[in-house]
Amino acid sequence: MIATVPLEHGLILAAALFALGLTGVLVRRNIVFMLMSVEIMLNSVGLAFIVAGARWGQVDGQVMFVFILTMAAAEVSVGLALVILLYHRFKTLDADAASIMKG
């Protein structure tokens, strides 16, 4: 018989990963690190959906995780385009440099 992870353990891990990602977004000023922190936060939410779906025997958690992966891919593509634009224009990846952009 396959042992399952208890709901509480999975949700605690998801909460810890979300807190780690939130800390990374709030503390770091480098845009690449901020994008990686947002990815950690999105994956932690996906983990919570998977754990909850497995607990109740529904596939809804897996379907939501696919949507989260799709949203994360779109976020990465737009984010990396902004990183390239910012580096090309200001020669830095500091988030404070984006505050002087007008348009």
User: What is the tens place of the pLDDT at every residue in 30-62?
Assistant: 999 999 999 999 999 999 999 999 888 889 999
Query: Are the beta carbons of 24 and 36 closer than 8 angstroms?
Result: yes
d(CA 20, CA 51): 19
Q: What is the pLDDT of residue 80?
A: 92
The whole-number average pLDDT for the span 9-37 is: 95
Sign of CA dihedral 37, 42, 45, 46: negative
pLDDT above 90 (res 101): no
Q: What is the pLDDT of residue 1?
A: 42
In this prediction the pTM is 0.85
User: What pLDDT, in 10s, does the model give residues 73-86?
Assistant: 999 999 999 889 88
